[in-house]
Amino acid sequence: MDQSNQSYSRGVQDKTLLAMTIGQAFDRTVARYPDGEALVVRHQQQRYTWQQLAETVDLHARAFLALGMQAGDRLGIWAPNCAEWCISQIASAKLGVILVNINPAYRSSELEYVLKQSGCQWLVCAGSFKTSDYHAMLQELKPELRGMISLDPNPPTGFLPWSELAALGANVPLDRLHNRQASLHLDQAVNIQYTSGTTGFPKGATLSHHNILNNGYMVGESLGLTAQDRLVIPVPLYHCFGMVMGNLGCITRGTTMIYPNDSFDPLLSLTAVAEERATGLYGVPTMFIAMLDHPRLREFDLSTLRTGIMAGATCPIEVMRRVISEMHMSEVQIAYGMTETSPVSLQTGADDDLERRVTTVGRTQPQLENKIIDADGNTVPRGEIGELCTRGYSVMLGYWNNPDATREAIDDAGWMHTGDLASMDAQGYVCIAGRNKDMIIRGGENVYPRELEEFFFTHPAVADVQVIGIPDERYGEAIVAWVKFHPGHVANALELQTWCKGRLAHFKTPKHFKIVEAFPMTVTGKVQKFRMREISIEELRTESQ
């Protein structure tokens, strides 16, 4: 086979990786930009220069030492976005303590599983969030922890208030922190992130300083982030998007981190961009759609925006056009990846045309490799669909305490098998066709939900759409489209089906349409297609009875 025609691509090699720990990278930025603004947490009315953030981080790192935290200990963090999240992230990294990110939406059984599976010894937690009473859940669980630190100023018995850490830290000599930090190396584990599997228990992707520091650095490189940039981060910190592409991307470049709220709110995100004169904004497509469709959008001056990242799903072309024209994000980029690859392995560039930014997820990131393979492991010709695999500095150390799952995911040659179906064009741009498990097989025909979703986005009334397959006695699977309309627009299922005629192959036309106000979502803003399947199957079963 002609080697040049194979679906294999290697990112540029002239961008040098950072050979340091997260603590060293942070200290380097503090030394370079001591008076620059580092962190703005609007809902807490807190602002830090790099020097102020460093003093706070070091004081809390010393407090963690006073509590007896050892290198390799696991510190869970169960809280929405806040200043203490960022402080805990950097302070734990300086001590070689492994931060375990816990989804703020978790309930008792999920929390118990993650604490036990990771062997957490310590926990930083909010008092409550939305409908969850964290204190009550922990008091009921009575997890075997050495200590629980609460962000609530007046927590119940058994919790150490965060406000008392400063006094604890003041009694620990700075030399102890410096000695611990000097003993660490870049390939040590620093973070465990649980992947939300649709079946079975979540798996803890174990990531090193080298993994996530360099991924944040390379994402920032593509965006052209500098110490003059100001980035609004409305995505959750417990996820790679927030803590790696957001926090570490900014920390490696001296860029200001701005948290508009404890969780995503379209109005507060728009307000933060305007009032903080932000140059960058992160989000998943559903977040950008919510901001664009907000009735007060026109009130905000967004003219300082230049760049940002849309990730989590391929961006609909109409949404991308509006982000560029109405939000002034002329250099907005698409990024693709997964927690197991720290996360980004593919990214578009600032100068890629609109077509590339909406039909692809870009090209291979610097110092990484990607290939697309068939079921036998052979690299497929360019243009053909197969499974996407990634290799390089970003691939996780493995799943925490789960060697079997690690062997299934990472092969002997070091390739991470993503489970995503993709194709690569002649220039190395990759298109994601969907998850292996999301592909619909209707009457022997392969149907890729992403293609149908792109098609429905061209309908003037459609604001967002998600396509799934459900069991069907006659064809094996039937296609269901969940549709959300723009404000003031309506259409019924018959109108949508009629609209498909002549525009779409008959076997691709959805059999069922479900009109909704919202989709089932994870806290990170990702659509839960498995929940949509369950709901659709149950509703259609009820209708047929």
Model pLDDT, residue 541: 87
C-alpha dihedral sign at 117, 122, 124, 125: positive
Number of folded domains that form the chain: 2
**For position 377, what pLDDT does the model report?**
96
Is residue 343 within 8 Å of residue 241, measured between CB atoms?
A: yes
Backbone angles phi, psi at 27, to 5 degrees: -60, -35
Q: Give the residue from 389, 422, 455 where a domain finishes.
A: 422
Query: Based on the domain organization, do 392 and 473 belong to the same domain?
Result: no
Is 427 a member of any domain?
no
Task: Characterise 257 by phi-psi region: left (phi > 0), alpha (psi -120 to 50), beta (else).
Answer: beta
Instruction: Give 320-370 as a 3 state SS string.
Output: HHHHHHHCCCCCCEEEEECHHHCCEEEECCCCCCHHHHHHCCCEECCCEEE
CATH of the domain at 186: 3.40.50.12780
Residue 386 sits in the same domain as residue 485: no
Largest CA distance in the chain: 75
Q: Positive or negative, the Cα torsion across 102, 161, 264, 325?
A: negative
Could you give the 3-state DSSP secondary structure of residue 66? helix
Q: Is 434 helix (H, G, I), strand (E, B) or coil?
A: strand
Question: What is the model's pLDDT at position 42?
Answer: 98
Give the DSSP H/E element, type plus range, for residue 453.
helix 449-456
Q: What pLDDT is attached to residue 437?
A: 72
Going by the DSSP 8-state scheme, the letter that residue 278 receives in this structure is -
Tell me how far CA of residue 127 lies from CA of 134, 142, 334, 488, in angstroms: 5, 16, 35, 39
Distance from C-alpha of 481 to C-alpha of 497, rounded to nearest angstrom: 10
Q: Which of 122, 133, 115, 117 is nearest to 97 (CA)?
A: 122
| Helices (H), ranges, 162-263 | 165-170, 174-182, 209-223, 240, 249-251
Determine contact, residues 357/431, Cβ cutoff 8 Å: no
CA-to-CA distance for 314 and 361, rounded, in angstroms? 7
How far apart CA 260 and CA 233 sit, in angstroms, is 7
Asked if 190 and 212 count as a contact pair (C-beta separation under 8 A), the reply is yes
Q: Is residue 15 part of a domain?
A: no
Tell me if 3 is assigned to some domain. no
Please indicate, yes or no, whether residues 366 and 458 belong to a single structural domain of this protein.
no
Contact indicator for 367, 11 with CB cutoff of 8 Å: yes
Domain-embedded: residue 1: no
Q: Is residue 11 part of a domain?
A: no
Cβ(194)–Cβ(101) below 8 Å: yes
- Say if residues 465 and 480 touch (Cβ distance below 8 Å): no
Cβ neighbours for 233, distance < 8 A, ≥ 6 positions apart: 81, 242, 246, 247, 257, 258, 259, 260, 282
Last residue of a domain, one of 422, 454, 469: 422
Q: Are residues 45 and 167 in the same domain?
A: yes
pLDDT along the chain (545 residues), means of 10: 82 96 98 98 98 98 98 98 98 98 88 95 96 94 96 97 98 98 98 73 93 98 98 96 98 98 97 98 91 97 97 78 96 94 96 89 97 96 96 98 96 95 96 79 78 88 93 86 94 92 84 95 81 93 80
Let me know whether 294 and 443 are in one domain: no
Give the strand pairing for 416-424 and 386-392: antiparallel
Q: Indicate whether 432 belongs to any domain.
A: no
Which of 422, 449, 472 is at the close of a domain?
A: 422
In a shared domain, residues 366 and 475? no
The phi, psi pair for 424, rounded to 5°, reads -125, 130
Q: Please report, for the domain that includes residue 509, its CATH number.
A: 3.30.300.30
Q: Please, is 45 exposed, middle or buried when counting C-beta atoms within 10 Å of its C-beta (0-12, 13-18, 19+)?
A: exposed
Closest CA to 124 of 147, 97, 142, 140: 147
**What's the rounded Cα separation, in Å, for the pair 275 and 465?**
32
Distance from C-alpha of 225 to C-alpha of 221, rounded to nearest angstrom: 6
Q: Is residue 4 part of a domain?
A: no
The whole-angstrom separation of Cα 184 and Cα 88 is 17
pLDDT of 312 reads: 67
Q: Is residue 428 part of a domain?
A: no
- Token digits for 370? 């990607």
* CA 395/CA 257 separation, integer angstroms: 26
User: 367 and 457 share a domain?
Assistant: no
Same domain, 219 and 320: yes
Q: Are residues 251 and 377 in the same domain?
A: yes
Cis peptide before 343 (omega within 30 of 0): yes
Q: Give SS3 for 117.
A: helix
Q: Domain residues for 45?
A: 22-422
* 150: phi then psi, degrees, rounded to nearest 5: -105, 140
| Residue 486 CB coordination number (10 Å) | 16
Which residue, chain included where needed, has tokens 């992707």?
A: 205
- E-strand ranges in 209-321 read 230-232, 256-259, 280-283, 307-311
376/292 same-domain check: yes
Q: Indicate whether 86 and 147 sit together in one domain.
A: yes
Q: Which of 314, 357, 355, 356 lies closest to 332, judged by CA?
A: 357
Domain match, 147 and 173 both: yes
At 89, which amino acid appears? Q
